[in-house]
Amino acid sequence: MTAKDKSFIGILAGVTVVCVGGLYYWASQSDSRYDAAKEGYTNVTSEIAEMEVIPLFPTEKNKVEKQKALDDYKADATQLAEKLKAFRPKEIKNTDPQTFTDALVKMAADTKAAYTAQGLLVDAIPKGFYLGFESYTNTPAQQGATGVLAYELAAIAEMHGVLASAKPAKLLNFYRQSLGEETGKAYTADKGAAYRALPVEIAFSGSEKSLRGFINGLNSSKKYFYLIRSLRIMNEKQTGPKASDVQFDTAKAAAPGGAVGGGVFGEGSAFVLPSEEPAAPAGDKPAEVKPEEKSKSTEQILKQVLGSENIEVFLRIDILLFEGDVVIP
């Protein structure tokens, strides 16, 4: 074999080794790409399988059910909007300031009369009480604000009428948040808003029955819509009654010759043994205790033990003024 042949064989062997290495590298890379593609396919398939079982997957059945739910919601919203139209005033018309002041004075007087008629003492009403419009007793309202103020005044007067009917023990406080129109600012409704909130705060003390009556009365209004935003209730007394608070009737002095109380508990005690009880005079019958007297006595003792204080109530209420139609998309 010549040197030339040997050289050719060496070159051929080298080329063969390089080709075999290249083929091996390509095969190994192809295998890894296949594994990556297979893993990606498996992940996507798993995600699709999970999506198919959720309620909103876009199948024809789910589409029909979703459309039905939307139609039911729209029907309920439309029905609610129609009911709320009953609370929308026909018009909000401005008047001259003096007309508003005259209406304020009259409604404030009627409200105080309603409270006193239900047993609420005059000193149980805050001094200078004018339904939250105290500043207008000596200063006229701006004419551009008299319309919305008149609407709010009538709603507040009705609210206090409801509270008077509930018979509270005391009107602690009442606050009305001023409106922008009162300082010359124009009111701009939020986009899509169907109502305007007129906030007030009221605090009173009374029984639990008076609170229930007040809330039920607000919910029964046919002309105004009252929305209770927050409610706080607390006892007048923050500590429970003590045993020393209980006062029982003391034993009556015994008649001469028949002293009661010389028993085992010492002189003056109301507890005696049967053998120590004085004999009743002949012909006398034991005094009968009427059932209502027993009930009254028992009730008085329970009040002394359990406490009979009222509750103090604070409410933040929005008077909703519906100004336009509710648009249901």
Q: What's residue 24's pLDDT?
A: 66
H/E element holding 209? helix 208-219
Q: What's residue 262's pLDDT?
A: 44
Residues 75 and 216 in one domain: no
Residues 132 and 215 in one domain: yes
Domain range for residue 76? 58-87
Residues 64 and 205 in one domain: no
Q: What's residue 242's pLDDT?
A: 65
Q: What's residue 326's pLDDT?
A: 45
Residues 83 and 108 in one domain: no
Q: Which tokens in the block code for residue 145?
A: 């604000």
Number of domains in the chain: 2
Distance between CA 236 and CA 170 in Å, rounded?
Answer: 12
Q: Is residue 185 part of a domain?
A: yes
Residue 57: CB atoms within 10 A of its CB come to 13
Encode pLDDT of 235-291 as tens digits: 887 776 666 655 655 545 444 544 444 444 444 444 444 455 555 555 555 556 566
Distance between CA 23 and CA 26 in Å, rounded?
Answer: 5
| Buried residues in 137-153 as b, exposed as e (16+ CB within 10 A) | eeeebeeebbbbbbbbb
Task: Find, among 99, 209, 101, 114, the residue nearest to 159 by Cα.
Answer: 114
H/E element holding 58? none
Q: What's residue 308's pLDDT?
A: 63
Q: Report pTM.
A: 0.61
Q: Mean pLDDT in each 10-residue stretch from start to end of the chain (329 residues)?
A: 65 70 66 76 80 70 84 86 80 89 93 88 80 90 91 95 93 92 86 86 93 95 94 83 60 48 43 50 58 56 59 95 59
Q: What's residue 298's pLDDT?
A: 55
Residues 224 and 169 in one domain: yes
Residues 63 and 146 in one domain: no
Q: What's residue 81's pLDDT?
A: 77
Residues 110 and 221 in one domain: yes
SS3 280: coil
Q: What's residue 327's pLDDT?
A: 44
- CATH code of the domain in which 149 resides: 3.30.70.60
Q: Is residue 32 part of a domain?
A: no
